[in-house]
């Protein structure tokens, strides 16, 4: 299992990405202000790249999140899924415009176009994992346009949760317990539903936060279907493990804390991440990773809050931490910030 320590994460700017060698690259995601769907399948890079319309904060540039593995990789396409895999790890991505869902399909089911698009996307993901032989979904990134907008009598994030759960059940997957780490953020109106993911040949470990109710056990006030994700997942054991922390916010139990105070929400979010690190150290890693050793992606709802959020993180993480700040809507309207992270003694975060 130590071989999974070869997994690497890099954040690469537009100016230097062309110089990066492609050997061992699994895939990535581009974050910028405007969608360019020619890159959604990696047309200009030779590996799958998800195009996410969430602006990078603090700098006027695009950033490529790049996942690399030490093994040789092979690429393929199945339906809308573009993937690259090593013998043990698979990276995949897909992009689906809601307008491309046939009118009759979603009307006949009395569902929204987003619901139908999400259900189709997840069914295709699971079909790909089965076909390629990497059955275990490890980490999923979901980007949903207009995530907080209400249509068809239900917020779009809640529509997404219902469709994801339906697809999990239809494909014989768990909806609680053994579910992947994940995040779901809003990106620009008019953008497609974008999903990218990591999967593995062997089963990962799934980790919950003792400070929080598991998301898949949320009460009905958060929607008719609970979100189907774990607070974290880990692939490998001890020194070779890589830890994936899901999108994490200022939620204790199941309730939002510090509404209207982005600095306090950031501090509470860090407490949740520390609790996850302690739980992961106790159950999987054998030791507790320090906060500053992780690579972070920070989603900020209102860019005017960035200085406050950045100051809290700089104090907690130090000046050398790997942090990418993005503007994005968050699944609850009263949340100002969401933070995800990746870490492990095997992970090699790059500049």
Q: Which residues pair with 348 in a beta bridge?
A: 8
338 a catalytic residue:
yes
**Contact indicator for 165, 224 with CB cutoff of 8 Å:** no
3-state SS class at 301:
coil
Written as tens digits, the pLDDT of the chain (351 aa) is 233 447 889 888 765 655 455 678 999 999 986 655 444 444 456 789 999 999 999 875 789 999 998 778 999 999 999 999 999 999 999 999 999 888 665 565 678 999 999 999 999 999 999 999 999 999 999 999 999 999 999 999 999 999 999 999 999 999 999 999 999 999 999 999 999 999 999 999 999 999 999 999 999 999 999 999 999 999 987 777 899 999 999 999 999 999 999 999 999 999 999 999 999 999 998 899 999 999 999 999 999 999 999 999 999 999 899 999 999 999 999 999 999 999 975 554 543
Residues 6 or more apart whose CB falls under 8 angstroms from that of 11 comprise: 63, 64, 65, 66, 295, 322, 324, 350, 351
Residue-level pLDDT at 38: 40
Closest C-alpha among 320, 272, 265, 275 to residue 294: 320
Separation of CA 100 from chain center? 24
CB 305 within 8 A of CB 211: no
Instruction: Report pLDDT for 39.
Output: 44
Number of independent structural domains in the chain: 1
Tell me which of 10, 124, 338, 340 is the catalytic residue.
Answer: 338
Residue 12, pLDDT score: 85
Please report the pLDDT score of residue 106 as a whole number: 57
- What CATH number does the domain containing 163 carry? 3.30.1330.40
E strand or H helix that includes residue 63: strand 63-68
Strands (E) across 115-230 are located at 136-145, 150-151, 154-155, 181-187, 193-200, 205-207
How remote is the C-alpha of 16 from its chain's centroid? 24
Q: Which two tokens stand for residue 62?
A: 């695009």
Question: Are the C-beta atoms of residues 190 and 121 closer than 8 Å to each other?
Answer: no
Task: Please tell me whether residue 305 adopts helix, strand or coil conformation.
Answer: helix
Segments forming the whole domain that contains residue 331? 2-350
Q: Which two tokens stand for residue 72?
A: 């040789």
Taking the C-alpha atoms of residue 153 and residue 346, their distance in angstroms, rounded to an integer, is 46
Q: What pLDDT is stored for residue 306 in this prediction?
A: 97
* Residue 240, pLDDT score: 76
């Amino acid at each position: 299992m130590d071989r999974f320590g070869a997994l690497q994460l890099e954040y690469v700017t537009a100016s230097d990405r062309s110089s990066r060698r492609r050997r061992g690259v699994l895939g990535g995601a581009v974050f910028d202000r405007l969608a360019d769907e020619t890159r959604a399948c990696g047309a200009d890079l030779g590996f799958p790249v998800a195009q996410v319309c969430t602006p990078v904060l603090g700098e006027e540039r695009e950033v490529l999140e790049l996942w690399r593995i030490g093994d040789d990789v092979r690429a393929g396409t199945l339906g809308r899924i573009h993937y690259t895999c090593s013998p043990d790890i698979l990276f995949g991505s897909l992009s689906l415009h809601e307008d491309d869902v046939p009118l009759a399909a979603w009307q006949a089911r009395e569902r929204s176009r987003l619901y139908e698009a999400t259900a189709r996307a997840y069914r295709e993901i699971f079909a790909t994992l089965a076909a390629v032989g990497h059955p275990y979904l490890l980490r999923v990134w979901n980007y949903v346009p207009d995530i907080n907008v209400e249509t068809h009598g239900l917020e779009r994030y809640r529509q997404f949760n219902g469709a994801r759960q339906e697809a999990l059940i239809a494909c014989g997957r768990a909806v609680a317990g053994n579910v992947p780490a994940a995040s779901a953020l809003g990106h620009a109106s008019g953008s497609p539903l974008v999903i990218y993911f990591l999967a593995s040949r062997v089963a990962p470990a799934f980790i919950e936060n003792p400070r929080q109710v598991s998301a898949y056990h949320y009460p009905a006030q958060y929607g008719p279907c609970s979100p189907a994700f774990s607070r974290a997942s880990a692939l490998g054991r001890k020194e070779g493990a890589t830890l994936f922390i899901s999108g994490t916010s200022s939620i204790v139990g199941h309730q939002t804390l510090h509404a209207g105070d982005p600095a306090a929400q950031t501090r509470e979010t860090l407490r949740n991440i520390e609790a996850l690190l302690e739980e992961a150290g106790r159950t999987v890693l054998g030791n507790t990773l320090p906060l500053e050793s992780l690579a972070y992606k920070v989603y900020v709802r209102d860019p005017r809050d960035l200085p406050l959020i950045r100051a809290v993180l700089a104090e907690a993480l130090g000046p050398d931490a790997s942090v990418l700040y993005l503007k994005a809507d968050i699944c609850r309207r009263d949340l100002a910030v969401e933070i995800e992270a990746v870490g492990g003694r095997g992970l090699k975060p790059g500049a």
